[in-house]
Amino acid sequence: MSQATAEKLMSVEEYLAFEEKSKIKHEYMDGKIFSMAGATRKHNLTTTNISTELNLQLREENCEVYASDFRVKIRDGHNVYPDVAVVCGEILTESNETTLLNPTVVFEVLSKSTEKRDRSDKAEDYFKLDSLKDYVLVSQYRVRIEHFSKQKNNEWNLKIFEDLEDVLELKTINCKIPLKLIYLKLKLTSLKLVEKKKKNGK
């Protein structure tokens, strides 16, 4: 989760030097830094579930899965820490391998403090990143996943999942993740399941 700080504007070089010494992570956008506050239990569980399943399915592939400690440069002047990032093929980094340049898939687990940026500033820049093929927003409060996938014409298609029986398919990296595994141990009830029970009179 991120919170904007009241510090003066920083150059990219100042930000990287500051970040190297800081005890907490900060995202950076056009001179402003955003502190990454501690995540909730549900946020951590969701992130762990996603990265675990991706690692299992990609263990024999030329892909790597990174958790939230690996910085990603979306564009010049915009550095973030996605909850989960996947890169397949050649891995491009800078700043002594502390910053990834070419993620293939990015997951963001939404929180009250980050959702606005995840849907606006970050999404806008992510959609312009050549390497990115899938951008996935995951709610930690209810069963809801928004999957943005890049099409051949470079337009983005949105598919929404709200049922624990649904399966998120990432064709780019040949992965299929059941929502019930993404939300494992979170004890969330899908809206569609509630509707089915009502229709059945249960």
In whole angstroms, what is the distance from residue 26 CA to residue 16 CA?
10
- Which residue type does 137 have? L
| Domain membership of residue 121 as a residue range | 39-199
Contact status, residue 111 vs residue 43, Cβ threshold 8 Å: yes
Residue 7 domain-assigned? no
**% pLDDT > 90, the chain:** 75
Q: Residue 193: inside a domain, yes or no?
A: yes
Residue 30 within any structural domain of the chain: no
Question: pLDDT per residue over 79-136, tens digit each?
Answer: 999 999 999 999 999 988 999 999 999 999 998 877 888 898 899 999 999 999 999 9
Q: For residues 137 and 108, give the distance between their C-alpha atoms in angstroms, rounded to a whole number.
A: 5
Evaluate whether residue 56 is within a structural domain.
yes
Query: How many folded domains does the chain comprise?
Result: 1
- In one-letter notation, the amino acid at residue 79 is N
How far is residue 11's CA from residue 26's CA, in Å, rounded to a whole number? Answer: 14
pLDDT digits (tens, 9 = 90+) for 155-174: 999 999 999 999 999 999 99
pTM: predicted TM-score of the whole model, two decimal places: 0.88
- Residue 4 in any domain: the answer is no
Q: What is the pLDDT of residues 12-34, one digit of tens each?
A: 999 999 999 998 899 999 999 99
Check which CATH number belongs to the domain holding 96 and give it: 3.90.1570.10
Inside any domain, residue 185: yes
DSSP state of 89: S
* Residue 154 located in a structural domain: yes
Chain centroid to CA 130? 17
